[in-house]
Copies of this chain bind each other. A is one copy, B any other.
Amino acid sequence: MKDKFNPWEVEGDVNYSKLIEKFGVTPMKELGGIFKKEFLFRRRIIFAHRDIQRILEAVQKKNNFVMMTGLMPTGRFHIGHMILARQFVFWQNLGAKIYIAVADIEAYNARGQSLEESRRIALESYIPGYFALGLKPKNCEIYFQSDRSSDGKKAGVYYKLQNLFARHATFNEFKAVYGAIEPGKIVSALLQAADMLHPQLPEFEGIVPVVIPVGLDQDPHLRLARDISQRIKNPKFLQLSSTYHYFLPGLKGGKMSASDPTSFIDPMENETSVKNKIKKYAFSGGQATLEEHRKKGGNPDIDVCYQYLKMLLEEDDKKLQQIYENYKSGKMTTGELKNYTIKKLNSFLKDFQKKRKLAEKQIDKFFS
């Protein structure tokens, strides 16, 4: 475990650079222009990449490009998923065609969940959440892995890719990705490679740059897809680009877990529940007593409320910097930081919940 990356722990810059080195990804440089307007880039919450220059060029030249991602339709859509969803909206606004795969085959093979249950969860929880956060149905394809071919014209070529890819990866490569290997995992990894690469088929967008925003834990899948894409002769693919972001930490620190409701905020929760959860569970970087806090100051870098402000809630950099300094100096107490976060979070969720209601209507239209 010591040597393993844990993308849910936010502990300052130490691991950050080690991990970049370990995974062979490139640290994200300061990007100019439109990227400065998105705090995920500005604050380096998106902290690393592979081959991002191809995407930046497409943006600059206003060329076609694709943002591709997947969702695992288990548990529920929670605020942790919003870091990724925010990126869909950002890339779509920049002109990207959005591809979103609902990984119902992977949920079936790796987690034993029925296709029906996956469909329900995706349609009732994740996808309305995306729309509520600003994803537009236009220039966006959302599909189920088990049913990619509802459009007759495109029928089959996605699965054909999955089958062809099998020749271009070795058993040991799958082992490296997964450790213990099962047929269901091999098949899922190949389908995931098809998810990432099929937008470049002539039946879809043709050969275009594709950016895939992921957490570093998903990088083995990405490496496999990248390797396969350059080994196969026909069809040809442009190498995939990817970005890597931090995960929003769980309420108590560590990872958000769908099976532990005290670890996350459900965006449909009411004001009182949010308030109580933050007060009771949110891991604090403050000192044990007010007196000590005033004297020594708090540690915003490990404080969950501060991370939520930085990664999700506080658009204003100056305000965020002020909170950082005040909390660090002890001028701002843990109670004050929690109250501010509760206020911001409830205001954010109120807006989300309103938009979520409107989004439900879009879902039916989108999938009909």
What's the least CB distance linking A10 to chain B, in Å?
35
What are the interface flags for A119-151 relative to B under an 8 Å C-beta threshold, 1 for contact and 0 otherwise?
000000000000000000000000001111111
User: A109 within 8 Å of B by Cβ?
Assistant: yes
CB-CB under 8 A from A112, the residues of chain B are 167
User: A105 within 8 Å of B by Cβ?
Assistant: yes
For chain A, the count of residues having a C-beta within 8 Å of the partner chain is 38
CB-CB under 8 A from A167, the residues of chain B are 108-109, 112, 183-184
User: A186 within 8 Å of B by Cβ?
Assistant: yes
* A114 B147 Cβ-Cβ under 8 A: no
What are the interface flags for A137-170 relative to B under an 8 Å C-beta threshold, 1 for contact and 0 otherwise?
0000000011111111101100110111011011
CB-CB under 8 A from A163, the residues of chain B are 105, 108-109, 145-146, 159, 162, 187, 191
Residues 167 to 201 of chain A near chain B (Cβ within 8 Å): 167, 169-171, 174, 181-184, 186-188, 190-191
User: A289 within 8 Å of B by Cβ?
Assistant: no
Assembled-state Cα–Cα distance A110/B153 (Å): 28
Main secondary structure of the interface of A (DSSP, over half): helix
**So how many copies of this chain end up in the complex?**
2
* B183 A114 Cβ-Cβ under 8 A: no
What's the least CB distance linking A23 to chain B, in Å?
23
The 8 Å CB contact of A182, one of B149, B171, B187, is B171
CB-CB under 8 A from A147, the residues of chain B are 156, 160
CB-CB under 8 A from A187, the residues of chain B are 162-163, 166, 186-187, 190
CB-CB under 8 A from A191, the residues of chain B are 163
Q: Who on chain B is nearest to A161 by CB?
A: B146
The 8 Å CB contact of A183, one of B153, B159, B166, is B166
Assembled-state Cα–Cα distance A114/B232 (Å): 11
Q: Who on chain B is nearest to A174 by CB?
A: B183
Binding site for B on A (CB under 8 A): 105, 108-109, 112, 114-115, 145-153, 155-156, 159-160, 162-164, 166-167, 169-171, 174, 181-184, 186-188, 190-191, 234
Q: List 16 A-B contacts (CB under 8 A).
A: A105-B160, A108-B167, A109-B163, A109-B167, A146-B163, A152-B153, A159-B163, A166-B183, A166-B184, A166-B187, A167-B184, A169-B183, A171-B183, A174-B183, A186-B186, A186-B187
